[in-house]
Structure 1
Amino acid sequence: MASSEGGMRALIINMASATERMGFMEAQMAALGLPWERIEAVTPETLVPPEQDPVWHRWQRPMRVTEMALCASHRVAWERVVALGAPCLVLEDDAVLAASLPGFLEAVVGLAGVEHISLEARGRKKLMGRRLHDRAPIRRLYQDRTGSAAYVVWPAGAAKLLAHARRAGAPSDALISSTYGMASWQADPALSVQLDHCEVLRRAAGDPDQIADRRGEKAAPCGAIGRRAVWLPGAAGHGAAAHGVAAGPVHARGRAAGCWCGAGLGRGARG
């Protein structure tokens, strides 16, 4: 199942059994008005090449078979980007997206010299350029450490990622961040966070209506950030936010600016 509306296409990596997660992502796509298609996630049972293949045993530590499968799932998405010949938004099915994302995608789709943009932050520092791009709110990204849940990749970047993956498998985020020949950038402010960084959203992911039902509830702690989650007054149950879409971007310095969980989508993005 997919949407064929205009704009940059989102490729959503999802296991067939993860129907609640896919429902959560479909709600976000509808709220944001983004065209999308589902990428069938690779599982340990469908992994190619298989777990015993030497390509999976060249990383700096032994990989779990689930990590191999996730890397292979992203590889399927990269192959799709190359086949389409156009930049795509690649998403894992637990990515919470900012309401300003569609405008951001419009701003970056035609940029030259950009092959990859990370949209997320996970509380670990990133080495970035000091100056913003003159046409979009992105900074040159020189060193990343974690996160493959939300990014934009161009066909040239996807081809470089595929070439890297053929040489040596790695956890998907590590493979992306260690493809140093790829022109990578960071969205600043960050525009995505994974559900595991926001306990309230994670619990509600399977049923968007539950988010509205929790208006006024004492928020659960966001353990990954170490701060209390905070509901935004008047936000629950209205528009995109009711479907798990963050109400706005969060700046890389850690200041929340409309994030559902208040933890800061971009916390730690700047070194």
Structure 2
Amino acid sequence: MNILIINLDQSKQRLEFQQRQFERLNLKFERLPAVSVNEISQERYQELGFGWQRPLRKVEVACFLSHKNAWEKVLVSNQPTLILEDDAVLATNISNVLNEIHCEKLTEIDLINFEVRSRKKIISKMPVLKLEHLNINLFELYQDRTGAAGYLLYPSGAKKLLERLKNTAPAIADGFIFSAYELKVLQVEPALIIQEDQLEAYGLAAKSEFDSTIGRSEHYKPIYDSIDQKKIFKRRRIIGQWHMACRYLQVLFKSQKRFISLDKERFK
């Protein structure tokens, strides 16, 4: 199975971290150069950064464009591809799970999310696929709100995301992906990927090994140019929240909202 790691040219420490990790896991990956903020002109930033529920920082636009480049590679290769950000920490059994998923030859799935990030998700009440000898369940994922550090994207999903971009403004990468309700998405449990900055929250490490090159959006407070601009973004956010509420009502009787488990022994 193809594996892409999005990595900035200057983030050599992160690339070395991934090289060591993949050597331990006996896996191979292809490095996908991340889009740098230096590659985005002010005009391009104005075009792409102000169509979502709040103004995007230039670094968030760069992150989104990096994921977009990954989607395009998936579509060209016509192969399911595991897309990773370069601070993704992988469980020791991920190779076996990827092989098993590959053997299942899933035909109606667009994306499988492997990540967990300290927030509840809305998933199906029962798993839609059980990998029993690996103690892995896959649930239908109806709504997620954070995390794009590790997901398996199928060509059908790449096509849908790129088609959506023709009519929908860029957003933070995970916000764009998981608000695309036309995607058929599964969630792996126990989760097999966690971002490095989440290790301490899950009792897996005392401190981060390297700093975030993006800065987490959940801690970001936007600055608006005017009251009128703030009203525009507030209206967009209300519409976004309305869509989320409608989605929840659509799946209410077949779903559950809860945290996804993680097997800490698989990350030691």
Paired residue for 1:108? Answer: 101
> What's the counterpart of residue 162 of structure 2?
162
Structure-2 change in CA distance of 1:11 and 1:202 (3 Å): farther
Q: Is it true that 1:188 corresponds to 2:183 in the alignment?
A: no
User: How do 1:123-162 and structure 2 match up within 5 A?
Assistant: 123-136=118-131, 137-162=137-162
1:12 alignment counterpart:
5
Letter aligned with residue 197 of structure 1? Q
> Which residue is equivalent to 1:85?
78
Residues 255 and 98 (structure 1 numbering): CA distance in 2 closer, same or farther, change over 3 Å? Answer: closer
- What CA distance in whole angstroms lies between the structure 2 residues aligned with 1:69 and 1:189? 30
1:97 matched to 2:104: no
SS of corresponding position for 2:107: coil
Asked if structure 1 preserves the Cα contact closer than 8 Å seen for 2:93 and 2:266, the reply is: no
Superposition pairs of residues 1-271 of structure 1, within 5 angstroms? 8-47=1-40, 50-53=44-47, 55-109=48-102, 110-136=105-131, 137-167=137-167, 168-199=169-200, 200=205, 203-204=208-209, 254=261, 256-260=263-267
Deviation at 1:73, TM superposition (A): 0.2
Q: CA deviation at 1:113?
A: 1.1
Which structure has more helix as a fraction of its residues? 2
Aligned length: 210
Runs of 4+ in structure 1 deviating by more than 3 angstroms, as ranges, are 199-206, 252-257
Shift of 1:131: 1.5
Give yes or no for contact 1:107–1:135 (8 Å, CA) kept in 2.
no
> Which runs of 5 or more residues in structure 1 are unaligned?
1-7, 207-223, 225-251, 262-271
Tell me, yes or no, if the aligned pair for 2:90 and 2:267 is still in contact at 8 Å. Answer: no
Q: CA deviation at 1:259?
A: 4.7
Distance of aligned partners of 1:71 and 1:201 in 2 relative to their CA distance in 1, 3 Å threshold: farther
Aligned partners of 2:12 and 2:206: how far apart in 1? 16
SS in 2 for 1:59: coil
CA-atom RMSD in angstroms: 2.4
Distance in structure 1 (CA, Å) of the matches to 2:46 and 2:107: 40
Q: Which moved more, 1:44-53 or 1:172-181?
A: 44-53
Answer yes or no: is the 8 Å Cα contact 1:95–1:149 preserved in 2: yes
Aligned residues with identical type, % of pairs: 35
The aligned amino acid for 1:151 is Y
What displacement does 1:56 show?
3.1
